[in-house]
Amino acid sequence: MPMPAFEEYEPAGDCACRGCAQRRRTLARARAIRLRDGGHPAARGARRALVLATAAGVVLGGGGGAAVAVTAPAAGPAATDDPGPGSPQGGRTPLHGPKGGPVGKPGAPSGVKRIDRTTIINRAKLWLDAKVPYSMSEYWTDGYRQDCSGYVSMVWNLGSNEWTGSLDKFATKITKADLLPGDMLLFHNPADPNNGSHVVVFGGWADETQTHYIAYEQTRPTTRKLATPYGYWSNGSKYIPYRFNGVTGGIVPDDPAPPVPAPGDATVFPGAAKFGPGQTNDHVARLGRMLIERGAFRFYPKGVADRAWSEHDRLATQAFQTAQGWTGADADGIPGAHTWRLLVERTGKNIPPLVGAAPGPGGVRAYPGASVFRPGVAHDAIAALGRQLVKKGFGKHYTSGPGPRWSEADRRNVEAFQRAQGWRGAAANGYPGPETWRRLFA
């Protein structure tokens, strides 16, 4: 068996493992010796021998745990394209009370508490909002250790502080295609378990290509939520998706269960679980269509909504909720029963157009709806339409203006623009629809 090579190393100031703790005690004794011997070369040699003997005892003796990696503390996350975790972790411990002492014993995988996905994500946001600082030896007020594995233990409400070597015992391995908000992506590196492992909470896909996802994670300097390449910034292929064994549906248990729609009844709210990251169904597509009718066209670059939930749906829903004067949690971009009722019944306020403002997603300004372009109607969007027609060279029917009140001159100029697109018949009737509007303002 080859002898291991050792080197002097600086212990992490907040590391609670036996190796770093012993190294700090050794350095303290060495400093005391230095004060007594005046820095004599023989004494310095004795101190170095003591350091090597200590490291050898930790590595060869085992100490009841994994061998301690002799490395410098990992750097914090970069502020560039690869903000890796830089997050060493502690071992398996119980919760800690207000005075810092352990409370109870570590939990057992067979005794997990049931929890739904909404609650999991809401728990993840608790540390995010509190900006909990990263530490592998400190414990937050809820008793969970302030490192990556302690964070996932808190989010899943395990009742104990697990680590990357034990979290998989509370979960089941799944595939990338199965990932839903509240699942985890785990990288446990046996070769360097304390410094070389990491775990994050999956918050949903960031784009339709599923190349990036929203990661909730505990890392330096504080808890963060960040669009992250799948499976991670580094060692991406080694991150394995898992589903917590205690996860239930997507509705918070304290909320009343949504009514079950009767066959063909499209007016009943289908439930919050049908919307949000990872959801694909007909309700999402219908939501998008209703939002587009209420002025959300600018949020959909393709001009249509599909069955897969995306950031376009969230932004459009949030814009509609904000138009009703709602704020905070009432305008979070996830439709509730009230939002759905207003959309289905075509009541409430439309999303206001961004007349004169910068284009939204896809380069499209807000289409205000077909009802604006009717005889007798006055609206700022009509004046903006006229100015854009003139700018594009289709203003010859204006004898004055253009102005904010819809006129026959507006209709004839729009008709000329539509015919220039190659459209005929009803497609060139002079009344702008979403596609006419998009091409005018593109």
For residue 295, give the DSSP letter. I
Mean per-residue pLDDT of the chain: 75
* Confidence check: pLDDT of 32 > 80: no
Helix residue ranges, H only, 306-425: 311-323, 337-345, 380-392, 408-420
* Half-sphere exposure for 286 (CA within 13 Å, toward CB): 15
Residues 6+ apart with CB under 8 A from 73: 10, 12, 15, 88, 195
- Sorting pLDDT into bands at 50, 70 and 90, what band is 59? very low
Lowest mean pLDDT among 118-132, 386-400, 421-435: 421-435
Amino acid letter, residue 172: T
Q: Which of 368, 363, 384 is nearest to 438 (CA)?
A: 363
What pLDDT is attached to residue 342?
92
Query: Residue 24 has what pLDDT?
Result: 54
pLDDT at 16 over 60: no
In the three-class reduction of DSSP (H, G, I as helix; E, B as strand; rest coil), residue 217 is classed as strand
Structure tokens of 119? 């609650």
The residue that leads in pLDDT, 101 or 77, is 101
* pLDDT at 317 (0 to 100): 94
For residue 148, name the pLDDT band (cuts at 50, 70, 90).
very high
- Residue range 343-367, pLDDT digits in tens: 998 888 988 866 544 444 444 456 7
Instruction: Check residues 10 and 407 and name the one with the higher pLDDT.
Output: 407
Rounded Cα–Cα distance for residues 169 and 173 (Å) = 10
Alpha helices in 238-379 (DSSP H): 282-291, 311-323, 337-345
- 26: pLDDT strictly greater than 60: no
Environment class of 24 (CB within 10 Å of its CB; exposed 0-12, middle 13-18, buried 19+): middle
State the pairing for strand pair 198-205/184-187: antiparallel
Alpha-carbon distance of 336 to 267, in angstroms, equals 13
Query: What's the CA gap between 379 and 368, in Å, rounded?
Result: 9
Please give the pLDDT value at position 352: 81
Q: Are strands 102-103 and 212-217 parallel, antiparallel or unpaired?
A: unpaired
Confidence of residue 416 (pLDDT cuts 50, 70, 90): very high
Q: Work out the percent of the chain whose per-residue pLDDT is above 90.
A: 29
Of 101-105, 198-202, 298-302, give the lowest mean pLDDT range.
101-105
In this predicted structure, which of 78-87, 158-167, 433-442 has the lowest mean pLDDT? Answer: 78-87
Q: What mean pLDDT is predicted for residues 116-126?
A: 90
Residues 410-426, mean pLDDT to the nearest whole number: 89
| Segment (H or E) for 191 | none
How much is the pLDDT for 304? Answer: 65
Q: Find all residues with CB under 8 Å of 406, minimum gap 6, and list them.
A: 372, 373, 374, 375, 376, 377, 378, 379, 382
Give the residue-averaged pLDDT of 296-313: 79
Average pLDDT over residues 16-31: 53
Pairing of strands 171-173, 240-244: antiparallel
Least confident of 6-15, 114-123, 158-167: 6-15
Mean pLDDT of the 207-227 span: 88
Dihedral angle sign, alpha carbons of residues 24, 29, 30, 31: positive
CA dist 294 → 133, 307, 347 (Å): 43, 19, 10
**pLDDT of the residue at 424:** 85
pLDDT at residue 81 in the model? 38
Please, which pLDDT band fits residue 23 given cuts at 50, 70 and 90?
Answer: low
Q: Looking at 124-239, which runs of residues are DSSP E strands? A: 160-161, 171-173, 184-187, 198-205, 212-217, 224-229
